[in-house]
Chain A
Amino acid sequence: MTTREHDASVYEQVQESTEFQTLKRHFRRWTFPMTVAFLAWYLLYVVLSGWARGFMGIKLLGEINVGLVLGLLQFVSTFLIAWAYSRHAEKKLDPIADKLRHEVEEKTQ
């Protein structure tokens, strides 16, 4: 076991490394804009439910109206974003994270 001070200096070194900065960038540049996007898309749907009821009530196919279709599209977009995130994480995040973890664990042992 190492002391906490020693650990902290190792963490600061890793934090400054270009590899870690790349990992952080890959993580934040994907998840932050995506979070803004899906929240905006969801809020648009809620706002339409409050202020555009005529539009939501337009029938598209039999009794199935715009509101229902937009609601079901929220399900579709949620599934797609979840799937896209797992692909992004496996390709861009996991390899760097695994490599850094092994390096730090060797240094701190």
Chain B
Amino acid sequence: MSSTTLGMILFLAFVAATLAITFWASRQTKTAADYYAGGRSFSGVQNGLAIGGDYMSAASFLGIAGIIALSGYDGFLYSIGFLVAWLVALLLVAELMRNSGKFTMADVLAFRMSPRPVRTAAGVSTIVVSIFYLLAQMVGAGALVGLLLGITGEAGKAWTIVGVGALMIVYVVFGGMKGTTWVQIVKAVLLMGGAALVTLLVLGKYGFNLSALLGQAAATSGPPGNPGNFLIPGLKYGTEAQGLAGKIDLISLGLALVLGTAGLPHILIRFYTVPTAKDARKSVLWGIGIIGVFYLLTLVLGFGAAALVGKAKIAAGDAAGNTAAPMLAQQIGQDMFGPVGGTILLALIGAVAFATILAVVAGLTLASSSSFSHDLYAHVFKRGQASERQEVVVARVSAFVIGAVAIGLGILAQGQNVAFLVALAFAVAASGNLPAILYSLFWKRFNTAGAVSAIYGGLVSALLLVIFSPVVSGGPTALFKTADFVLFPLSNPGIVSIPLGFLCGWLGTILSKEYNAAKYAEIEVRSLTGVGAEKATPH
């Protein structure tokens, strides 16, 4: 049996199991709280696993392993930023948000502001961030099929993306938050298991001697003439050739990674799926543990791929390195157990990677469709007059539409590194969402004008800087290779757009006289004590 057939069988088994879960969840999803927040009935541990499932995306698994395999140490920077970012979520956001919100990020902002403008801004920003993130996952799916199914033509990749997109629509439309959360939990367990297995095999091959593995990685994949450089920073980001701009770009990337997580809509809505703020805290603690261990595994996977597969072969498979982890699985399986072992491990890791992408796109689609329905439809268009039933119907329809948009964009954007694309989504989230969230939780004087200008200021500046960056035009790796309209030298906008988001929020606030002391008292007391927090729905 070829690895393609076996991979398909394993993947179809995952699809069958998750569809069964979705069907079961759809029968339990009756109210809006069920659809948006899984009835708030998940335990801290379950939600912690689901946080891991939502967060360990194609970017973490395929992207980081790929950057480490191609550029050594520089890929490690991503893992660290992605992990430390969780402390912002744990210390400043998770519990307070669980206490003061209901279904979406905008609930917290709209609490003491004029709801319509604030919800419009937050809804737009949620959908933009989620679509950026979705794009990255779809690119990962396209890169995988080439390797796993032997499909290399554009049409084949496009059909795969359509298939992935259709499945995710089914999960979200029918399963809602309950179904999506269980899909995340199953996926998190599979991904951790798969990554741990390959890591153990790789470490075992080197007698559990990390130094020997690193030495082999540098010797196989390091720059010719000076292989030792593979293990020190500067092969990819802020290379000496790029000069000062390159190094500032590195800081910009670092800022976006560490401040983005607490502004990601699909992560923020996870805090609503547990009964209390204490469970939200517990779920983040579990999430940090799972995600931290996972990134330690990807460190070994990346250097393992560099040592055993080699940079040249990986880059030939996918120029951005997105297929390094599955290629490593095949190589180590073959080294340890012969060709059959290689086939089985490739099929296993390939199926896990597909499951990963499928679960993350489902989480993203849920976040953006929830925001569309709850914020834009129910509160802006219908001025809060929509019934729960109407809201859930609209959420399902918009999940379908957003899924279709993601499929279309995913087909258009192939060939970028997945972790890199996700870093852009992080920059947009950190610029557009985080300033408004932190101000509304902690700044007494904050008001409607401040919230609206923080969101639009951060969002628009981040987007414009990306459009005029070397990512979009002016080079062989850009989205539009032949055009050149580069005005901004950095590939990540964070270092400019995140401070701009905070500055716009501050300016908008002090230029407007509006201030509601009673409402601030309410959100402060509620967020810290949990008074009046939404309760779990009994089933």
Which residues of chain A have a CB within 8 Å of any CB of chain B? 7-9, 11-12, 14-15, 20, 23-24, 27, 31, 34-35, 38-39, 42-43, 45-47, 49-51, 53, 56-57, 61-65, 67-68, 71, 74-75, 78-79, 81-83, 85-86, 89, 93-94, 97, 100-101, 104-105, 108
Contact = CB atoms under 8 A, between A and B. Distances in A.
A50 B525 contact: no
B518 A62 contact: no
A35 B92 CA distance: 8
B285 A24 contact: no
Interface string B57-99: 0000000000000000110110011011011101110010000
A49 B528 contact: no
A42 B518 contact: no
Contact of B231 (A35, A46, A50, A67): A67
B88 A35 contact: yes
Nearest to B296: A75
A19 B466 CA distance: 47
Given A8-B521, A42-B80, A75-B80, A50 B238 contact: yes
> Interface SS of chain A: helix, strand, loop or mixed?
helix
Given A12-B517, A53-B234, A63-B214, A71 B80 contact: yes
B524 A57 contact: no
B211 A62 contact: yes
B379 to A, nearest CB: 17
A8 B528 contact: no
A47 B247 CA distance: 8
B232 interface: yes
A19 B285 CA distance: 27
Q: Across the A-B interface, give the 9 residue pairs with the lowest CB-CB distance, nearest first.
A: A62-B211, A57-B232, A46-B254, A49-B233, A8-B518, A63-B214, A50-B247, A15-B521, A11-B522
A20 B521 CA distance: 11
Interface stretch (B15-23, B35-43, B287-295, B406-414): B287-295
B87 A15 contact: no
A56 B247 CA distance: 15
Contact of B232 (A7, A27, A67): A67
Contacts of A101: 529-531
B285 to A, nearest CB: 6
Given A65-B231, A97-B528, A78 B522 contact: no
B258 A42 contact: yes
Nearest to A74: B80
Contact of A31 (B91, B254, B282): B91
A82 B86 CA distance: 9
Given A34-B91, A46-B77, A108-B532, 10 more contacts: A7-B522, A8-B519, A11-B518, A20-B529, A23-B528, A35-B91, A62-B211, A63-B231, A64-B214, A79-B288
B281 interface: yes
Contacts of A57: 228-229, 231-232
A75 B83 contact: yes
Contacts of B285: 82-83, 86
A49 B233 CA distance: 5
Contacts of A27: 528
Chain B CB within 10 Å, residue with most, of A56, A61, A65, A78? A78
A94 B278 CA distance: 8
A104 B529 CA distance: 10
Nearest to A96: B529
Chain A CB within 10 Å, residue with most, of B228, B522, B531? B531
Interface string B221-243: 00000001101111000100000
A78 B529 contact: no
B247 A51 contact: yes
B351 interface: no
Given A42-B258, A50-B247, A89-B281, A78 B528 contact: no
12 contacts: A7-B532, A11-B518, A14-B529, A24-B524, A56-B233, A57-B231, A63-B210, A65-B232, A74-B80, A75-B292, A82-B288, A101-B529
